[in-house]
Chain A
Amino acid sequence: MVERSYEKFFRRNRLPHLWCPGCGNGIVMKAIVQAIEKNPSFTQDNTVIVSGIGCSSRASGYMDFDTLHTAHGRAIPFATGIKLARPELNVIVITGDGDCTAIGGNHFIHGCRRNVDLTVVLFNNNIYGMTGGQASPMTPLGKKATTAPYGSVDRPFDACKLAEAAGATYVARSTAFHVQHLVKTIEDGLNNRGFSFIEALVQCPTAYGRRNKMGDPAKMMAWMRDNAVMKSAWDKLPEDKRVGDKFPIGLFYRAEAQDYDAAYQQVIDIAGGAAK
């Protein structure tokens, strides 16, 4: 069999992965390395993958780079330390909806605010998968979880709006169904010098879909196909058409702003310091 070019980015002795059959995480993990492959300034020696805790965050162990599997919610502070200590390294953060917006929520908004040059990919499966299906801050209203057996009444976060409001300079959403779009979205995020945030919707048939009668993994992906609306089309949709399960994907926000390392270099210059 011909080797697929992206396979060199994986630690093949660590595979197969531990994700359930039908899980969308592998699609996003592959999209990340395909985006890396398209960017010649990202090599396996100068790129660090940092993750938190949860299903998504096990991805780092399969990827053949320097990889850091941190504590729950803390990937962004660790990644910030790596980036500021060695600005020449490319740092990518892999996180999940619970990891990033619940226990890591404060780190997330402050990472955006500082505009540290990181690319954060949030695998949104709408649930705590690793612990067996508890509600997360991104579980939609009314959906069931083991800790929301009658349907969630907690209003969910829109992580993209949160990132934009907090100061991220690249904010986009895609899904495990829209693979080409997902790869391009991550690629553009990698090219942004500043805090890039990409929410990737993934299907979790085991802990989320099954409990919410969403059918098999293929049906969950068909749901993404049928309900995701590209940003340009979404903007033209009248309010009364933005109903049901419909949600926007695409690039939501992009801004030019000095990244944190460049800003701190000014501090060093003012202080009369030596080069780092």
Chain B
Amino acid sequence: MSARLMQGNEAIAEGALKAGVRFFGGYPITPSTEIAESLAKLLPKVGGTFIQMEDEIASMGVVLGASLAGRKVLTASSGPGISLKQELIGYASAAEIPVVIVNVQRVGPSTGQPTAPSQGDVMQARWGTHGDHSVIVLSPWSVREAFDITVRAVNFAERFRVPVILLTDEIVGHLRENVELPDTVEVYPRRTPKITRAEGYEPYAPDDDLVPNVANFGEGYHIHVTGLIHDETGFPVGSPKVTREAIKRMHDKISRAADEIIDVQREFMDDAEFAVVSFGGTARTAYEAVINARRRGIKVGFIRLVTIFPFAEKIIRELSKNLRGLIVAELNYGQLVNEVERAAQCPVKLCAKYDMTIFEPEEIEQSIDELVAEVNGNG
């Protein structure tokens, strides 16, 4: 396929189509609207369905309904809309419905700065809905990767029957790059029941990987789906044992596969004494800052979290054992830094920015210099 100039948001729409998404429900919101606009144009061409709903909650509801009926689904929004979607993101966790939710982050809280970039939804992505729940959060740093990660997000949603948050930001969403997209991608098919009703099929009985093979509606299985805590039959049960096991399995199905889900890019780590941890659009700047600092003789490495949750705790712990200090660069008041601090075996310094503008490489370099001085006792 020839190269095309496109935005991150358009690449997400292309990735969704290639991954087999055939249903999108959404609501207009800056800076994610291009995803809806692209899919409004593209989905009917492949016999898929685009629908603009009355609000963000309905956008979540309509895609969950379509997913239960067998379609691969995606929805997209930004911070304020994601807050509204949280109710049914929790439903998707509880009822184990495959769905991808794209969050093109902008400055919050509330209406905030609608057109300006931010990475302030890290914790919303993990803990936005109420109760204990599992979720996967992925973040791309380029237009091409926005495509690839959308495919991965759809596949993870299907494989683990879990909501996957594609946590991008206005930087990548509106970034235009020349990209070559593959004609075909690896696609994880919808899970299907392995036994019949007569053989005693139970929709929420976990398979070997702890994920249930829930039948699609309309296939004769007569399943019941609810947001109440349920046992393997799918029906609500008010017992401590069932509640404990349901919540535990929801977490275990993700944590058991964490090594496969977690993707961390590491550069210049062989001789590194220090390293910068970053993700998404900010990682582009951090990469340049690291190269500049190395030119000045500072042995600094680059760590980029492609998977933000489940958090790469083991990797950060191991890498940090050989480091004298870590910088966490994020476009917010300090969110991911708390996760890194929890795992790190070396001093951690936050490089935060929350003023509508993206990082300049010099700002991250300055943080690196300050960290070096601090650990050398000159701070």
Contact = CB atoms under 8 A, between A and B. Distances in A.
B217 A268 contact: no
A215 B63 CA distance: 45
B66 interface: yes
B57 to A, nearest CB: 7
Interface in B35-58: 41, 44-49, 51, 53-55, 57-58
A217 B244 CA distance: 40
**Residue of A65, A264, A273 most packed against chain B (CB within 10 A):** A273
A86 B216 CA distance: 10
Interface in A229-276: 264, 267-268, 270-276
Contact of A68 (B62, B70, B225): B225
Contact of B220 (A45, A50, A70, A109): A45
A77 B61 contact: yes
B235 A70 contact: no
Given A46-B218, A70-B91, A275-B47, A82 B66 contact: yes
Contacts, number: 146
Given A74-B88, A81-B66, A64 B222 contact: yes
B16 to A, nearest CB: 15
B218 A45 contact: yes
A106 B91 contact: no
Nearest to B54: A110
A60 B225 CA distance: 10
B64 interface: yes
A48 B70 CA distance: 13
A84 interface: yes
A267 B228 CA distance: 37
Interface in A64-104: 64-71, 74, 76-86, 88-89
Given A106-B58, A110-B53, A82 B224 contact: no
A65 to B, nearest CB: 6
**Residue of A50, A81, A272 most packed against chain B (CB within 10 A):** A81
A85 B66 contact: yes
B25 interface: yes
Given A66-B222, A70-B227, A89-B218, A81 B62 contact: yes
A14 interface: yes
Interface string A175-204: 000000000000000000000000000000
A11 B57 CA distance: 31
Q: Is the interface of B mostly helix, strand, loop or mixed?
A: mixed
B23 interface: yes
A276 B61 CA distance: 21
A30 interface: no
A268 B25 contact: no
Nearest to A84: B49
Nearest to A270: B44
B47 A268 contact: yes
Interface in A95-134: 106-107, 109-110
A205 interface: no
Given A65-B222, A66-B223, A70-B91, A80 B51 contact: yes
A44 interface: yes
Interface residues of B, number: 46
A118 B348 CA distance: 56
A82 B54 contact: no
A89 B69 contact: yes
B88 A71 contact: yes
Contact of A107 (B48, B61, B63): B61
B156 to A, nearest CB: 21
A167 interface: no
Contacts of B60: 77
B65 interface: yes
A48 B218 CA distance: 7
A81 B69 contact: yes
A274 B64 contact: no
Contacts of B219: 45
A144 B114 CA distance: 45
B67 interface: yes
Contacts of A264: 44, 49, 51
**Residue of B55, B60, B70, B218 most packed against chain A (CB within 10 A):** B218
Closest 3 interchain pairs by CB? Answer: A81-B65, A77-B61, A271-B44
10 contacts: A61-B226, A66-B217, A74-B61, A78-B62, A81-B63, A81-B66, A81-B68, A84-B62, A86-B218, A268-B44
Given A48-B217, A81-B67, 6 more contacts: A46-B218, A68-B65, A81-B23, A82-B68, A110-B53, A273-B45
